[in-house]
Structure 1
Amino acid sequence: MKYNAWDSIIKSFKSYSRIERGLSENTIKAYTRDLNKLKNYLIDNEQTVKPENISSEQLKEFIYHISKEVKPRSQARITSSLKAFFLYLILENYRKDQPMDLIESPKIGRKLPDTLTLEEIDQLLAAIDRSNPEGERNRAIIETLYGCGLRVSELITLRLSDLLFEEGFIKVIGKGNKQRFVPVSEYTIKAINLYRDEVRVHQKIDLKHQDTLFLNRRGKGLTRAMIFHIIKQLTQLAGIKKTISPHTFRHSFATHLLENGADLRSIQP
């Protein structure tokens, strides 16, 4: 069997890690190296299984195999890489389960900060200076990223015409120009309305961005880099030591829904 399925989806995962999560090239190389180890293990053992179909048992066998070859820290990194990869498959609707759920990393005295707690999200919101126009915008950005589980690319292209608040949804144009409707909470609606009606309405807006929701001071749309910068600043002000990116909110959104018993289909695009 050809393993194009693995090569293709690993390539997509690399792009997602770079663009949506903003990970460093070193981290992406480590992810790719670890996933190729799994792919090569399957080839060596003549296991013709696709990423969306591989089972927990097969992954446990792989982890057991590498545990005899690498140190605990490397094993922990590989386990973390696989968890990130399969979460990506869930979020992108390739599969509905996390096969790494019952596979623990070896204890090496360090917790990988992948997810924000509800308390940490409150800390970030509390750190926002709402005495200036950017404060109300930034609060609405954080509420939307977390409350709707959006990708950063979806956030910066969100339009006023996509806000269907009477119906309780926002319309999102995602990967591959696919359209979906995302439920929106009262907290998020309130934050967006406050920004739109009290701040955005007073801006001089560039003609090309009349329908763009989130704007910079010059009345133009925000870039990915600007969103990363806003989040980095808030993280420092809130005193949170984790490495946080826009994707962290999407990951936290999915994790908190799962912890509260949500059906996986409810968080998949």
Structure 2
Amino acid sequence: MNSVLQFLSETVQTIFVFFCTIILVKFAAKVIQFYLKSDNRNNLIAEFCSYLRLERSLSSNTISAYKSDLEKFMQFCADSISETFKPESAGSDLISAFLSSQMDLGLTKRSQARLISSLRSFFKYLEMEGRIEKDPTELIDPPKIRQYLPTVLSVKEIEDIINSVDLSSDEGHRNKAIVEVLYSCGLRVSELTGLRISDLFFNESFIRVTGKGSKQRLVPIGAPAIEAVNLYMQKRRALSIKKGCEDILFLNRRGGKLSREMIFILVRKQASAAGVTKDISPHTFRHSFATHLVENGADLRVVQEMLGHESILTTEIYTHVNSERWREGILRAHPRG
């Protein structure tokens, strides 16, 4: 009797171990499958980011934004459908559901538009690589965003700001050169702080600008800006320049590279000194540069090239600024405007 009970006990134990082993194997297989799929998704995002960096020359900040948007989308799909979800199988309904979920979280229209742009670029990349037959974002329209026209300075206001610089101060010639170059060349503040002496080709009246995604372009520079920079360069020689900053054009009083924040402070200080009440930033000079060119008949494609815009649609806002200023001028002049 004892031997029978022992046999039954051993049999039950064997069966129990057998079923536990099967359960563990299945669980392990699912875990492995999950990580493989997760790795595949991460690899796909990494490949896409490499494409953006190497072939489209986008900046690291833009690529990080794309990556963040795609990771949100992948996580939504994994939570909503399956951990084994493949991005290649996504349809427009799934993408719309994801966008709706983000809207429910209070995403602004501008952020929604950026999210759609990220997904559209990603799926166009998959289509280009032959991984999908049709881009599922084609039928998805971005939200309509109210277009806010940028603040623009008049020519007189710019002249007042330039003339308000105190040239007797230690940084006077530098500050005047900065304002002159901002307006003469329409630079972004990051492009201005990155300017090097080796980028100056004054004999040809050009400077070399390194823009977003490390793309370089040649931009004409006017005689007043050249004169201001040359006068500043004479003062610059007296600075004790920090190692690694020898070729940097605009330096702070300690001989180091000027920060973006310092340019903002400088511009607002000079605007205040000139009696300009508009809320401005260094970018206002870029807007003014482009608007004044368009007002004086410059070709929009040329302005696009000088600004370093990837798409002419970005440059077209300055035609709207010009139209708005024209409309306001007509209304001011009309007896019943």
- 1:152 counterpart residue number: 189
Matched residues in 1 for 2:114 and 2:138: separation?
9
Matched residues in 1 for 2:273 and 2:203: separation?
35
1:79-101, Cα deviation, whole Å (9 max, x unpaired): 343x5xxxxxxxxxxxxxxxxxx
Tell me the amino acid that sits aligned with residue 108 of structure 2: R
Instruction: Give yes or no for the alignment of 1:132 onto 2:169.
Output: yes
4+ runs deviating over 2 angstroms: 32-40, 46-51, 78-81
- 1:67 counterpart residue number: none
Instruction: Give yes or no for the alignment of 1:250 onto 2:325.
Output: no
Matched residues in 1 for 2:293 and 2:190: separation?
22
Higher relative contact order (CA 8 A, sep 6+): 1
Following superposition of structure 1 onto structure 2, how do residues 205-216 of structure 1 map, counting pairs within 5 Å?
205-216=241-252
- Cα distance change on mapping 1:80 and 1:132 into 2, 3 Å: same
1:209-263, Cα deviation, whole Å (9 max, x unpaired): 1000101110111000000010111121112111110110111101100111111
More helix by share: 2
TM-score, length basis structure 1: 0.62
Following superposition of structure 1 onto structure 2, how do residues 30-49 of structure 1 map, counting pairs within 5 Å?
33-35=108-110, 48=139
What's the CA shift for 1:49?
7.8
Matched residues in 2 for 1:48 and 1:253: separation?
37
Instruction: Give yes or no for the alignment of 1:161 onto 2:228.
Output: no
User: What SS does the corresponding residue of 1:172 show, helix, strand or coil?
Assistant: strand
Tell me the amino acid that sits aligned with residue 35 of structure 1: R
- Which structure has the larger Rg? 2
Tell me the amino acid that sits aligned with residue 79 of structure 1: R
Query: Percent sequence identity over matched residues?
Result: 48
Matched residues in 1 for 2:214 and 2:198: separation?
16
Matched residues in 1 for 2:206 and 2:172: separation?
24
TM-score, length basis structure 2: 0.50
Matched residues in 1 for 2:114 and 2:284: separation?
27
- 2:268 counterpart residue number: 232
- 1:181 counterpart residue number: 218
Matched residues in 1 for 2:198 and 2:154: separation?
32
- 2:258 counterpart residue number: 222
- Cα distance change on mapping 1:137 and 1:265 into 2, 3 Å: same
User: What SS does the corresponding residue of 2:208 show, helix, strand or coil?
Assistant: strand
Matched residues in 2 for 1:234 and 1:264: separation?
30
- Cα distance change on mapping 1:219 and 1:243 into 2, 3 Å: same
Matched residues in 2 for 1:122 and 1:80: separation?
28
Matched residues in 2 for 1:258 and 1:49: separation?
33
Following superposition of structure 1 onto structure 2, how do residues 31-110 of structure 1 map, counting pairs within 5 Å?
33-35=108-110, 48=139, 79-81=146-148, 83=149
Tell me the amino acid that sits aligned with residue 289 of structure 2: F
Give the aligned length: 189
What's the CA shift for 1:266?
1.6
CA root-mean-square deviation? 3.3
Matched residues in 2 for 1:156 and 1:164: separation?
17
What's the CA shift for 1:35?
3.4
